[in-house]
Structure 1
């Protein structure tokens, strides 16, 4: 019986993968970890085993090298199976998905530089991408913001007590009329751990 691969983050920022195989016999088993399309070997493991009568369990722990390289393959060989079973791990299998708070903005004043911000936390590795989109009175759909008017920033990634990261994404601009009156903005965040982006929305905004 195979348990799902478990992941943990060390204090040094290393990803550890743990695979547990249960209830097999005889005890001889070989577990191999490899990474990348070329399946470069990370380690061969013949880990400690615990016996329960005539049945054996085994846990293999692998530390992934940095920079992270996917897919990661774990394969085991045992005389009870003809073809070595394997599990393929992709970035989306990592459990540290970004958590995104609601967008916030102070009062927006005409011809005064303003910002819309959002806090992003709980992610690893430290490489989220952020896209800002706007829907104004002149259009009925969201379009990427004009880089000539809107400036985007992402603060330095701050390491948290659980070894994940947090940052603040900002959209800076000087509101003008009528372009920004009652406009709406979306912040879209993508991360290697996620197959789909997540987004937050604010508006319609009032320019004073």
Structure 2
């Protein structure tokens, strides 16, 4: 083979995550000729990043494959560029890696109720998992009975809390988001709540909803004295994205 052949297959960049929080990026180019090829990884400001390359014969025995690996430091800001130069092309070819390309997007569980009592501190909780980096933004919204839209909760009456980030065995992050409030009537009767999560890996936020909450009227509590006169009936309904 004498004529130059451009890479016939460009595999999508693969990502893996280390315990120390570094992202390992792997690019494979297949079936090009001749073997001389230069691959560089660099930042938006043209700072070159350390990388390793491995050249091998293709399955056809005539062309070549190369795999380039670059480990991104935790402090690195996106975008990242991977560029290759080969005599088959007049201009360098490149791929742009954005933060939203990272595969570790948050997953959000169902919203759970705990300790729901009238005029007592109550909690809505939701588990968020599988994300990297550790930068989710959690927003809580409420839709009152008789209204048709969710509005941000009043920070004077509702407290949003995020637990410390945990690291499961896959080296991603997880946390629990909570909304603390004191249910009152009629303010919270049949209200619906929504948790909205934003993250650099997401192009659009993800959501979970719960409600409408059914809070027992005070005069109905006398009928419950045999069990717990202070307990408030709360039903979980309609969770969904």
Q: Which moved more, 1:59-68 or 1:47-56?
A: 47-56
Residues 22-61 of structure 1 aligned to structure 2 (within 5 Å): 22-36=30-44, 38-43=45-50, 47-52=53-58, 53-61=61-69
* Equivalent of residue 75 in structure 1, options 83, 89, 113: 83
Q: TM-score, with normalisation over the residues of structure 2? A: 0.82
CA radius of gyration, larger in: 2
Contact 2:78 2:97 in 1 (8 A): yes
**More relative contact order, 1 or 2 (CA 8 Å, 6+ apart):** 1
* Greater fraction of residues in strand: 1
Deviations 1:42-78 (A, max 9, x none): 1365x22111322110000000112231111100000
* Equivalent of residue 20 in structure 1, options 21, 28, 42: 28
Secondary structure in structure 2 of the residue aligned to 1:168 = strand
Q: TM-score, with normalisation over the residues of structure 1? A: 0.95
**1:34 Cα deviation after fit:** 1.1
Q: Counterpart of 2:152?
A: 144
Q: Counterpart of 2:227?
A: none
**CA-atom RMSD in angstroms:** 1.3
Q: Counterpart of 2:116?
A: 108
Q: Counterpart of 2:169?
A: 161
Deviations 1:17-41 (A, max 9, x none): 00000001111111111123x2322
Aligned residue pairs, count: 206
Q: Which runs of 5+ in 2 are unaligned?
A: 1-8, 216-231, 233-241
Q: Alpha carbons of 1:77 and 1:44: their partners in 2 closer, same or farther (altered >3 Å)?
A: farther
**1:109 Cα deviation after fit:** 1.4
Alpha-carbon separation, structure 2, partners of 1:69 and 1:186: 31
Alpha-carbon separation, structure 1, partners of 2:94 and 2:136: 29
* Equivalent of residue 172 in structure 1, options 171, 180, 201: 180
Alpha-carbon separation, structure 1, partners of 2:115 and 2:176: 19
Q: Counterpart of 2:204?
A: 196
Q: Counterpart of 2:223?
A: none
Alpha-carbon separation, structure 1, partners of 2:107 and 2:51: 35
Deviations 1:165-194 (A, max 9, x none): 110000000111111111000000011111
